[in-house]
Structure 1
Amino acid sequence: MRFEIERKFLVAHDGWRAAVTHRMDLRDGLVGQFARGKVRVRLDGGQAWLTVKGARQGIARPEFEYEIPVADAENMLEGICVGRTIEKTRSVVPFGGLTWTVDEFRGQLAGIVLAEVELEDEDQDFTRPDWIGREVTGDLRFRQSTLLHLCREAARTIGLTEILALPEQVLPVQD
């Protein structure tokens, strides 16, 4: 079983842009969410994946990912994930021997930029680039399922200031 161990951060400034090695335009949809995890579909142009994520154990969680036909992903996004999709540009940025991903959200979350780094273990030491801001790994407001919920409820653009003004631990969302 593969475990995803990641840390998530706000992005302080655009210094990461000069180091980008690859970009992807992603469309993610929440297929289903349950007490101990979720199922997500992801479309990246000519490729698509179905991902099953289990319950968090600290900053780790079991993750299973399967490539699926693009047509199936498009049908899931349009027919099953209605109102539960996020679009973002993901940039890959190597730094300090690790691969960082920077997500620039589009649509209702336009202007929100988050960075993530996957680690080998929870206690792994790593150097933070100077463009990394506040850590939001355990902050429920920045989980993708919460962002999807906020988009569905607001039906308008939601900014970082508005998200930060929300109470961190009382949101009705599990991820």
Structure 2
Amino acid sequence: MQEIERKFLVTSEAFKNEAHKRTHIVQGFLNANPERTVRIRTRANDGFLTVKGKANKSGLSRFEWEKQISLSEAEDLLHLCEPGIIEKTRYEVSSGDHTFEVDEFKGENEGLIIAEIELGSENEPFSKPEWLGEEVTGNIKYYNSQLSKNPFKNWI
């Protein structure tokens, strides 16, 4: 249950032309402490409860446990979350043998677009699309749990 993930800023909306799937996501945090986050998420007609541990020193890897729950359970739990609900549209874009999940944030995080790629190992090679910008892996301010507390609109 180890998640190995790299995050990047996105420099253009060209990814939208390459996307093969698009999903609306709403999520909140029962606990947004970077040492251990507990997230509630709705995605399409499904709900999810996710627990994530602290990232390793490189910021690439951390424990993740996820359980699917009903949509109604997730919607009920969202009412118990800390302030700062995140809304975003997720685009899935194939690139070589991998899939990038590109999140276009809404609301207080409008204007922020982040691409994530999950890997099998920290050193696994992957091809980088032209719209992929600066790597922000391990930069805590780009964690969704932190965006719920200090949204992108406050940075600019």
More helix by share: 1
Query: Are 1:64 and 2:65 counterparts?
Result: yes
Q: Give the Å deviation of 1:33.
A: 3.5
Percent identity between matched residues is 36
Runs (4 or more) in structure 1 with deviation over 2 Å come to 33-36
Distance 2:120 2:34 in 1: 26
Mapping of residues 42-53 of structure 1, within 5 Å: 42-53=41-52
Q: Which string of whole-angstrom CA distances, capped at 9 and with x for unpartnered residues, describes residues 41-87 of structure 1?
A: 11013101000111212311111100111111111112x11523100
Distance 1:19 1:122 in 2: 25
Aligned to 1:102: 102
Query: Are 1:3 and 2:2 counterparts?
Result: yes
Q: Give the Å deviation of 1:19.
A: 1.1
Structure 2 residue runs of 5 or longer lacking an equivalent are: none
Amino acid at match of 2:147: L
Distance 1:45 1:104 in 2: 16
Q: Provide TM-score, normalisation by structure 2.
A: 0.92
* Rg comparison, structure with higher value: 1
Match of 1:76, SS?
Answer: helix
Match of 2:14, SS?
Answer: helix
Match of 2:42, SS?
Answer: strand
Q: Which string of whole-angstrom CA distances, capped at 9 and with x for unpartnered residues, describes residues 82-131 of structure 1?
A: 52310000000001210001000011111111101000000111111111
Contact 2:32 2:146 in 1 (8 A): no
Mapping of residues 22-41 of structure 1, within 5 Å: 22-34=21-33, 36-41=35-40
Amino acid at match of 2:25: L
Aligned to 2:146: 146
Distance 1:82 1:33 in 2: 8
Aligned to 2:12: 13
Match of 2:127, SS?
Answer: coil
Distance 1:45 1:17 in 2: 19
More strand by share: 2
Query: Are 1:158 and 2:153 counterparts?
Result: yes
Distance 1:34 1:17 in 2: 32
Distance 2:85 2:34 in 1: 20
Which structure carries more relative contact order (alpha carbon 8 Å, separation 6+)? 2
Q: Provide TM-score, normalisation by structure 1.
A: 0.82
Match of 1:94, SS?
Answer: strand
Distance 2:34 2:71 in 1: 28
